[in-house]
Amino acid sequence: MTNFLFYLFALLFDLNASFAADQDLCKYFKYCGGKSRSSSQSLPSSSSAATLNPSNISSVRGFGIESIYQQNNPLRFDLVTGNGKIGALLNPSLENSFFGNRSIEIDDSYYIRKIHKTQYKNKKLNLAVGLNLIDKTNFALDLGLSAKRNPDIKKINPGFGVSARLFSLNFGAYFSKDDIKINLGSYINPYNNLLYSSIYNSSTYLENFLVKTFTIGTKINNLSLDYGLILTKYNFYTESTQINLYSGSYVYKKFLFNLAFRQENSPNMSYLNNQLIIQRKKMDIYYGAEFLANRFFVFGLQYNYFLLNEVSASLTIFI
């Protein structure tokens, strides 16, 4: 697996290295009026866009390192590369973040995370590959594949996505398998006050599940607007999880401004006023700004990227 990832990134970097130096960043990065994605163009980064659909990174050109830092958490790195027709991204999973799926989480662990503003931790590594099939003035079609590996289970889960653009309207669909392994310990189910370990007659819980994601949006000049729907049915919960994402971005000279709303309907408990409450509907807001310093460096600030009401700083290096 490691060798495959190395050769894939080496191949893509070699294909574009000869002409990347004399290309203006505006032609292949997300800040400009030209097409960079068939759908989800308002999302703040390649990693967040690829989380909704791997086909979104098909038109990336160059080699980039996206990093984001939040206090009291390790520095996060994402690698993205492409030659304009095929793109690839390697990153840690974005579950339980603003633009990611709401995965299974023990409520007590969630409570501790919220108090200390620590990110949801998992060992999953995600590889996304996008392929541009058609790129015409009024129509574009992209395909995407993903492979996510959870070292706790030692299994690779595949995903398949497609996105298209028709005039100024874009839309996409993405279906992916996923899994989770949880240490139940001495945690108690808050709904029936029983030990999880006694409910499942085991000290650990394993589940495989399917995540379905749909997007639709539009781009008019420097304004992009998108809607995303993430659907998941877990056996761990009695009710399904549905996430609605409303996002928008606006480009002004060398600045990119993002604003997004997240409406989550899930059986997970909600954190409010330093305590957990039973609340199926959760509402969150995200906003951020990025500055294109030059053709190599992009600086940014985000609020609530990890659903902790936190402020994060980002740096993207593109060569």
Query: Residue 7 is inside which H or E element, if any?
Result: helix 2-20
Region label for 170, one of left (φ > 0), alpha (ψ between -120 and 50) or beta (otherwise): beta
Query: What's the pLDDT at 72?
Result: 87
Residue pair 125/92 in contact (Cβ under 8 Å)? The answer is yes
Q: Of 209, 125, 213, 211, which is closest to residue 162 (Cα–Cα)?
A: 213
Q: Of 159, 99, 150, 105, which is closest to residue 128 (Cα–Cα)?
A: 159
SS3 letters across 237-304: CCCCEEEEEEEEEEEECCEEEEEEEEEEECCCCEEECCEEECCCEEEEEEEEEEEECCCCEEEEEEEC
Residue pair 230/211 in contact (Cβ under 8 Å)? The answer is yes
Could you give the angle at the alpha carbon of 241 between the alpha carbons of 235 and 68, nearest 5°? 110
Query: What's the pLDDT at 61?
Result: 83
Query: What's the pLDDT at 213?
Result: 97
Report mean pLDDT in 10-residue bins for the chain, 319 residues.
Answer: 45 39 39 54 89 92 91 92 91 94 93 94 93 91 96 94 93 96 90 90 95 94 94 94 96 91 94 88 96 89 96 92
Query: What's the pLDDT at 62?
Result: 84
Domains in the chain, number: 1
Q: What is the CATH number of the domain that holds 76?
A: 2.40.160
Residue pair 272/111 in contact (Cβ under 8 Å)? The answer is no
pTM metric for this prediction:
0.88
Query: What's the pLDDT at 46?
Result: 87
Q: Of 195, 168, 189, which is closest to residue 268 (Cα–Cα)?
A: 189
- Structural domain of 223: 2-318
Q: How far apart are CA 93 and CA 65, in angstroms?
A: 16
Query: What's the pLDDT at 37?
Result: 65
Largest pairwise CA distance in the chain? 64
Instruction: Determine the residue type at 282.
Output: K
Q: What are the backbone angles phi and psi of residue 110, rounded to the nearest 5°?
A: -60, -40
